[in-house]
Amino acid sequence: MIEWNQEDLTAFLENKQTGLVYFYTPLCGTCQVASKMLQVIEQLLPEVAMGKMNLNYHAALAQKFAIESVPCLLFIRDGTVVDGLYAFHSVPFLLDKMKMNFG
């Protein structure tokens, strides 16, 4: 998964794209497990746009998107946040969640 910066996220939203934005911090153990799950998702669904952002460097985004904790996965449809997820559970759970949000 590609590390995004503020400009990448802004372009993604302004261009009304659809996909996932994953917020994490490097020292978070749960984030490391979630990252591995998302790597599997990325292999299964290469057509889904995905970016990750280290929340330590983008603290203002925590306020903007009301991020309560990490890991946090935001589902974006047509440039708008439609859902957020903090408990990743499993790869099949994530796939089901993606079907619910993206159809």
- List the strands of the sheet with 19-24, edge to edge: 2-3, 49-54, 19-24, 72-77, 80-85
Residue type, 25: T
When divided into structural domains, the chain yields a total of 1
CB atoms closer than 10 angstroms to residue 76: 22
Q: Residue 92 is part of which domain span?
A: 2-102
**Residue 25 sits in a domain of what CATH number?**
3.40.30.10
Segment 71-98, tens digit of pLDDT: 999 999 999 999 999 999 999 999 999 9
- Predicted confidence (pLDDT) per residue in 8-64, tens digit: 999 999 999 999 999 999 999 999 999 999 999 999 999 999 999 999 999 999 999
Residue 42, pLDDT score = 96
Does 103 score more than 90 pLDDT?
A: no
